[in-house]
Amino acid sequence: MKRSAADATLDPAALPAAPPARRRRAPASWSLRIGAGLLLFYAGVALLSLVWTPYDPLAPGMGDGYLPPSREFLLGTDRLGADILSRLMAGARYDLGITLVAVAIALSIGSALGTIAGYFGGVVDTVISRLVEVFQAFPGLLFAMLIVQAVGPGVPNIILVLSFIGIPDYLRLARAEIRSRRAWPYAEAARMVGNTPWLVAFRHLLPNSAGPLLAFTSINAAFVALVTASLGFLGLGLDPNTPEWGSMIARGQDGVMTGEWWVSFFPGLAILGLTGAFYLLGDALSDLTDPRRRR
């Protein structure tokens, strides 16, 4: 018989395996806690705004124009008398939603293309990489403005534009990660146990690059949130009455000089909080996933 049953008496030295060592979890850093907590808060507000806001965020004339913060209007009203708190709450849906969806699309497409370019190399890699360099020659915001002007307004268009300008960064990062791993013995071992090159790239190498990619995603989301607000501020892509934070700042900018600071201040604070949350989370994720930064 070719295969004999395992010899149970063999090699007791190997048997006393280490006691089931649980993976030691790194203590959550303060940046992780604050970042994740803030994001959860924003997500909660966005969801709450679907069912309840103090006033109708879209309707003007809830009170007089430029009412300062008070018991009745906690964060005041804008020039048209709309309640700023209600608009801020509804705005979370736009700023957080657009950012998350755009980043998710850019991450998926960018890392898929980057994985292909990085693992297969050759002509595919050259073509993909050169194309990416062309697009990267334009600054992100400028490029976004140009395309939004070209494709026309609407939330789906903004999402597409933002994900499009994000793809190159994800692609380059994924490509570099995969390239550095493709010669690892476990990539060779994966080939020998029957994986096709595609399976090696996407099932073995890409998951092992997830840490750096996710850390970058979070930091990139901060940038995307800023671009979203910038487009709104410039009045590109969305109806000016949309309670998007950037447009709200734009609506309040006349008041800043005459003392009605709250109209622009609170949406600005909301943007600062959101970008800060993404940045802190990304920083914490880099610390967790990059062994060189792990203490």
Partner 1 sequence: MNGAPYTVLRTRGLAKQYPVAGGRRLVAVDGVDLALDAGRTLALVGESGSGKSTIARCVVRLVEPSAGEVWINGRAVHAMGRGSLPELYREAQMVFQDPNGSLNPRMTVRQVLHEPLRLHLKLDRERREARARQLVEQVGLTPAHLDRYPHELSGGQRQRIGIARALAVEPDLLILDEPTSSLDVSVRGDILALLLRLQREMRLAYLFITHDLQVVRHVADDVAVMYLGGIVESGPVAEVFARPAHPYTRALLSAAPVPEWGVTRTRLRLAGEIPSPIDPPPGCRLVGRCPLAQPGCSAARPPLVEVSPGHLSACPVTLTAGDRP
Amino acid identity, position 161: V
CA-to-CA distance for 158 and 255, rounded, in angstroms? 28
**Based on CB atoms, which residue is closest to partner 1, 6 or 134?**
6
Measured between its terminal Cα atoms, the distance across the chain in Å is: 53
Q: Single out the residue of 190, 201, 248, 249 in contact with partner 1 (rule: CB under 8 A).
A: 190
Residue 82's φ and ψ, nearest 5 degrees, are -85, 150
Whole-number CA gyration radius for the chain: 25
Size of the site for partner 1 (CB under 8 A): 31
Return the residue of 27, 152, 194, 259 that touches partner 1, per CB under 8 A. Answer: 194
Piece in contact with partner 1 (CB under 8 A), picked from 109-117, 150-158, 188-196, 216-224: 188-196
Of the candidate residues 124, 185, 262, 268, the single one contacting partner 1 (CB under 8 A): 185
Centroid of chain to Cα 65: 36
CB atoms within 10 A of CB 172: 20
Go through 89-123 and write b for each residue having 16 or more CB atoms within 10 A of its CB, e for each that does not.
bbbbbbbbebbbbbbebbbebbbbbbbbbbbbeee
User: Binding mask 13-52 vs partner 1 (x if CB under 8 A, - otherwise)?
Assistant: xxx-xx-xx-x-----------------------------
Q: Any contact of residue 257 with partner 1 (CB under 8 A)?
A: no
DSSP 3-state of 77: strand
Is residue 105 within 8 Å of 156, Cβ to Cβ? no
Among 133, 188, 239, 290, binds partner 1 (CB under 8 A): 188
Give the residue with the Cβ less far from partner 1, 3 or 130. Answer: 3
Binding mask 202-221 for partner 1 (x = CB under 8 A): --x--xx-------------
Footprint of partner 1 (CB under 8 A): 2-8, 10-11, 13-15, 17-18, 20-21, 23, 184-186, 188-195, 204, 207-208
